[in-house]
């Protein structure tokens, strides 16, 4: 992974979503139109802490976030999701 240039604002987290599952457990292939948006990703960039809200997420963490959270971005040909730290539901 190449280093991303730039920074993000306080309280925000840039996540690289994990690819959607291609097959079910039973071996059925899921077409693109039926795939759900991923809700898991790896943290790539973390903004500074907001007032009275320390940043608990760090680069490299795997996080789970809400289904309709954040803003989709394409940076240098890769898809990312910019979310607020408050949208993170679980840190694995």
Give the pLDDT confidence score for residue 2 in this predicted structure.
Answer: 54
- In terms of pLDDT, which residue wins out, 42 or 39? 42
pLDDT class of 52 with cuts at 50, 70, 90: confident
Q: What is the pTM of this model?
A: 0.79
Domain range for 53 is 12-91
Give the pLDDT confidence score for residue 40 in this predicted structure.
Answer: 92
Residue 5 lies in a domain: no
- Is the pLDDT at 82 greater than 60? The verdict is yes
- CATH of residue 73: 2.30.33.40
Please list, in sequence order, all residues whose beta carbon lies within 8 angstroms of the beta carbon of residue 33, skipping any fewer than 6 positions away: none
Residue 48 lies in a domain: yes
pLDDT average, residue stretch 28-49: 79
Give the pLDDT confidence score for residue 41 in this predicted structure.
Answer: 94
Query: How far is it, in rounded angstroms, from Cα 92 to Cα 82?
Result: 18
Residues 24-50 as b/e (b if ≥16 CB within 10 A, e otherwise) read eeeeeeeeeeeeeebbebebbbbbeee
């Amino acid at each position: 992974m190449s280093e991303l240039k730039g920074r993000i604002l306080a309280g925000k987290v840039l996540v690289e979503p994990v690819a959607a599952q291609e097959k079910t457990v039973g071996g059925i292939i899921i077409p693109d139109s039926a795939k759900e948006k991923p809700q898991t990703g790896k943290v790539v960039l973390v903004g500074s802490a907001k007032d009275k809200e320390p940043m608990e997420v760090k680069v490299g963490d795997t996080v789970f976030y809400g289904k309709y959270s954040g803003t989709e971005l394409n940076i240098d040909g890769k898809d990312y999701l910019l979310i607020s730290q408050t949208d993170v539901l679980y840190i694995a």
